[in-house]
Structure 1
Amino acid sequence: MNGFKMGHSNSGFSEAGLRRLREVLARHVDSGKIPGLVALVGRGDETHAEAIGTMRHDGGTPMRRDTIFRMASTSKPVSMAAAMVLLDECRLRLDDTVDPWLPELADRRVLKRIDGPLDDTVPARRPITVRDVLTSTFGLGMDMTSLGTPIMNAIFERGLTPDLPVPMPEPDEWMRRLGELPLMHQPGERWQYHISNDLLGVLVARVTGQSFEEFLRERIFGPLGMTDTGFHVPDDQIDRLPTLYAPDPQSGEFHVWDEAKGGRWSQAPAFPGGGGGLVSTADDYHAYFRMLLNGGMHGGWGFGMAVRTYRGDYASVGQFGWDGGAGTSTYADPGKQLTGILLTQVGMSVPNSARLIHDFWTTLYQAIDG
């Protein structure tokens, strides 16, 4: 177990608070429900890291601070940075239509009703804009309340989302398939999850003439020293990637969702998905969120992450970040100059990692000193 550096300063954390945080995290691992975790918390210039447990549920290699995790939907806040760079450089404008770069999405049709047949449509009232893509309102997304409808079935069958039930094709083919479908809602009308974040990667690649990963590496990962962040783990580093589990909801038995060697992240994907494809480390993510806290880029939900707009519990208004279905949680709080990163290898098929995440944030806010 990596011990916390115990320190006392007005800008940081209380010794007792950090001890309690470590105890709470260790309790989840000791329960047998979370094989291992890495937590990193930062306030001002002070950081503390904790690595507890093992890479597999049946023991073996211990978790380390530099363990590489599948970030799942916590990829979204990072991949959005590529779009912010292009907006800053006026290579994209929020209210421009996407048609010049994404001609597959020109002249859209929109379903008359969400559960209707795919050919029962009306014309879109207006073209899709860059803003629609960045705010997840372009008209298509993962709508779990509409499972079983013709449009959701078509999205899954065409490989437009990760792992269900066919692999995602390379970006141009993905766009072609996406362009064959009607929209679920009129552009700008409704927020919908996920697909827009993958679409963003295609948009960035076409505007820049580089692959999405090349652009991220050149403009975000490289400058910030995020050397372990990317869309796959190289062979010589694969031992740093833990097995990913999706426990059985009934029995709690650990089912392997993805092995490290030979698994989905062991080679470059056909589609580098900004919505959920990144792997990274606690320190890489900390570098990114520190950049945001230092006045880099951040926006409403809009732009790739949630921003807290009301006080519902311990966290301040203005806290931003997101969680991932592979058991990851990353947020920053500008008011308190606080970052928190919690990474596990337990998917959200059961509530265990969600409970751990909840307890991490509750205890972290109590550990703030001054």
Structure 2
Amino acid sequence: MHDFTGADVGLPWAERPETVGVSSAALERLSHFLEHTVDKSIGHSFPMAGALIARRGKVVYYKGKGDARTEEGTPLQSDSIFRIYSMSKPFTSLALLMLLEEGRLTLEQPAHLYLGPRWEKKNLRVLEADAKETVPCTNDITIRDLLTHTAGLSYGFFDKSPPNPVDAYYAKSNAAAAKKNETLAEMVDRFADLPLCHQPGEAWNYSHAVEVQARVVEVISSKTIGEFLRERFFEPLDMRDTAFTLDEEKYRRLVSLHVEKPDTSKKDVTRSHIRQGNHTPSMRLEAAGQGLVSTFRDYARFCQFCMNEGELDGRRLLGRKTFQLAVRNHLPENRDISQLAVPSYAKEYATRGIGFGLGFAVHMDPALSGLQGSAGQYYWAGAASTEFFCDPEEDLFAMFFTQVLNRDEIKMPLRTLFANIVYGTLVDRQSGPRSSL
């Protein structure tokens, strides 16, 4: 076990976990969990894993297990860099809300005002599940639709059942973008030619909507999304290692990436990603929904910024009310994802009691979901089995990082197991105002 207690995580450490209402003894369960998940003697092991917990603005736990670089046997370090994939999404969504605060756009405006006439409803078509032909698009895609994944866009994944007929178009588009090493603007421009999988605003489908959000940010700000995030988020929050690309020194700190095979064994695919130039300056696409890398330290600072509702270390980047708006359920008629998800995503995301805000999933009803957490908890995850959640009621956030794609969610329900352990460490009743570091 690698004990990073006292390491620089960009936040103060609690003198003892008990001073912020967390049990030291119960935290040992998390250490056992890390040991177990990286135990190579079991079938469902991770190559490495780490976890960080903070409450009331102070870190109470940060430990890791395993090797950062599998082939080299390099131990995981406190400053190891991880691919966070979809944990990139909240940055882009909040960037759009920064522009909302500046009076540059509204949630109900149609996206074509910023993306051009090709995005007008009269120029879009819809190909719903089981449909043989496209039909006219009857609703404009709004900024809110983009933020809540209700725009009708898709991702292009082929492992969904029942299949989404639109995904074939997106898979072809994704392949072309990669082959041509396209920019974000070039990639998003092509999306206007692809069919939608449902009428905008009428269903929920996880999608490239965040890339489209990012393009709106670029058009309004006249900056690339990488420049905008660096200037408005990463530098003000002192997030030193969060970026789309890495220099040579930082690339050496990037941990190995693995894919889980059907028998739950892991295949190291790091070399193929190196050959593709991922996260190097040669990569032109700044994939705002999935393309960032980060560290525990950097993401902890972002989580505390969220816990403080848009402020950290005396620097306010987003208004309190604006942030509160982001972490409320915005699905139509206050429905949850289970009531709106398209068939291809219903099985994966159809947990009752979970809604979606402006960039985050929102826990609406713990009794209905059967999941640990308070009403108002917000969270998301990354494709390589990275997780985070923030719980305002408990003034608590927690993160779990590893690097495994295609994890079997049935055999390893990571978020549920992790949350069960974290909430089991709380030994007091939360009272008083949240921290405001």
TM over 0.5: yes
Separation in structure 1 between the aligned mates of residue 66 and residue 373 of structure 2, nearest angstrom: 27
The structure-2 alpha-carbon separation of the partners of 1:271 and 1:354, relative to structure 1 and needing over 3 Å to count, comes to farther
**Aligned-pair distance for 1:320?**
0.7
Separation in structure 2 between the aligned mates of residue 96 and residue 269 of structure 1, nearest angstrom: 32
Q: Please tell me whether the aligned partners of residues 155 and 161 of structure 1 are also in contact (alpha carbons under 8 angstroms).
A: no
Q: TM-score of the superposition, structure 1-length normalised?
A: 0.90
**Aligned-pair distance for 1:178?**
1.1
Equivalent of 2:299, from 279, 285, 288? Answer: 285
Which residue of structure 1 lines up, in the alignment, with residue 395 of structure 2? 337
* Partner-residue secondary structure (3-state), 2:304: helix
Which residue of structure 1 lines up, in the alignment, with residue 29 of structure 2? 20
Separation in structure 2 between the aligned mates of residue 313 and residue 126 of structure 1, nearest angstrom: 35
Give CA-to-partner distance per residue, 1:205-248, whole Å, 9 cap, x none: 11110000100111111111111111122212111101100022
Separation in structure 2 between the aligned mates of residue 136 and residue 225 of structure 1, nearest angstrom: 30
Whether 1:250 and 2:274 are equivalent positions in the alignment is: no
Which residue of structure 2 lines up, in the alignment, with residue 75 of structure 1? 88
Q: More deviation in 47-56 or 219-228?
A: 47-56
Q: Please tell me whether the aligned partners of residues 124 and 192 of structure 2 are also in contact (alpha carbons under 8 angstroms).
A: no
Counterpart code for 1:304: G
**Aligned-pair distance for 1:80?**
1.4
Whether 1:158 and 2:173 are equivalent positions in the alignment is: yes
Q: Structure 2 matches for 1:119-268, cutoff 5 A?
A: 120-142=133-155, 144-145=160-161, 147=163, 149=165, 151-159=166-174, 169-250=182-263, 252-256=265-269, 261-262=274-275, 263-267=277-281
* Partner-residue secondary structure (3-state), 1:240: coil
Aligned residues with identical type, % of pairs: 30
Give CA-to-partner distance per residue, 1:165-207, whole Å, 9 cap, x none: x576222321332111222211111111021011111111111
* Partner-residue secondary structure (3-state), 1:13: coil
Separation in structure 1 between the aligned mates of residue 387 and residue 176 of structure 2, nearest angstrom: 21
Counterpart code for 2:174: G
Separation in structure 1 between the aligned mates of residue 293 and residue 69 of structure 2, nearest angstrom: 17
Give CA-to-partner distance per residue, 1:250-288, whole Å, 9 cap, x none: 361424156675541233532211211110111111111
Separation in structure 1 between the aligned mates of residue 260 and residue 327 of structure 2, nearest angstrom: 35
Which residue of structure 1 lines up, in the alignment, with residue 289 of structure 2? 275
Q: More deviation in 56-65 or 154-163?
A: 154-163
Give CA-to-partner distance per residue, 1:73-113, whole Å, 9 cap, x none: 11112221111111111111111112121013123333354
Counterpart code for 1:159: N
Separation in structure 1 between the aligned mates of residue 177 and residue 361 of structure 2, nearest angstrom: 21
Counterpart code for 2:163: L
Tell me, which stretches of 5 or more residues in structure 2 are unaligned?
A: 7-14, 311-322, 329-355, 429-437
Whether 1:314 and 2:383 are equivalent positions in the alignment is: no
Separation in structure 1 between the aligned mates of residue 80 and residue 410 of structure 2, nearest angstrom: 20
Separation in structure 1 between the aligned mates of residue 161 and residue 261 of structure 2, nearest angstrom: 22
Separation in structure 2 between the aligned mates of residue 54 and residue 91 of structure 1, nearest angstrom: 46
Which residue of structure 2 lines up, in the alignment, with residue 360 of structure 1? 418
Separation in structure 2 between the aligned mates of residue 360 and residue 230 of structure 1, nearest angstrom: 26
Whether 1:299 and 2:314 are equivalent positions in the alignment is: no
Which residue of structure 1 lines up, in the alignment, with residue 68 of structure 2? 55
Tell me, which stretches of 5 or more residues in structure 1 are unaligned?
A: none
Which residue of structure 1 lines up, in the alignment, with residue 129 of structure 2? 114
**Aligned-pair distance for 1:123?**
2.6
Separation in structure 2 between the aligned mates of residue 161 and residue 89 of structure 1, nearest angstrom: 36
The structure-2 alpha-carbon separation of the partners of 1:113 and 1:338, relative to structure 1 and needing over 3 Å to count, comes to closer
Separation in structure 2 between the aligned mates of residue 37 and residue 112 of structure 1, nearest angstrom: 41
Q: Please tell me whether the aligned partners of residues 108 and 182 of structure 1 are also in contact (alpha carbons under 8 angstroms).
A: no
**Aligned-pair distance for 1:290?**
0.8
* Partner-residue secondary structure (3-state), 2:174: coil
RMSD: 2.5
Q: More deviation in 260-269 or 356-365?
A: 260-269
The structure-2 alpha-carbon separation of the partners of 1:162 and 1:249, relative to structure 1 and needing over 3 Å to count, comes to farther
* Partner-residue secondary structure (3-state), 1:141: coil
* Partner-residue secondary structure (3-state), 1:27: helix
Give CA-to-partner distance per residue, 1:307-347, whole Å, 9 cap, x none: 10011232111111111111100111001011101110112
Q: Please tell me whether the aligned partners of residues 242 and 259 of structure 1 are also in contact (alpha carbons under 8 angstroms).
A: no
Which residue of structure 1 lines up, in the alignment, with residue 113 of structure 2? 100
The structure-2 alpha-carbon separation of the partners of 1:303 and 1:51, relative to structure 1 and needing over 3 Å to count, comes to same
Aligned residues: 365
Counterpart code for 1:248: K
Separation in structure 1 between the aligned mates of residue 176 and residue 86 of structure 2, nearest angstrom: 12
**Aligned-pair distance for 1:148?**
6.7
Separation in structure 2 between the aligned mates of residue 290 and residue 148 of structure 1, nearest angstrom: 37
Counterpart code for 1:19: E
* Higher RCO structure, 1 or 2 (CA under 8 Å, sep 6+): 1
The structure-2 alpha-carbon separation of the partners of 1:39 and 1:116, relative to structure 1 and needing over 3 Å to count, comes to same
**Aligned-pair distance for 1:31?**
3.6
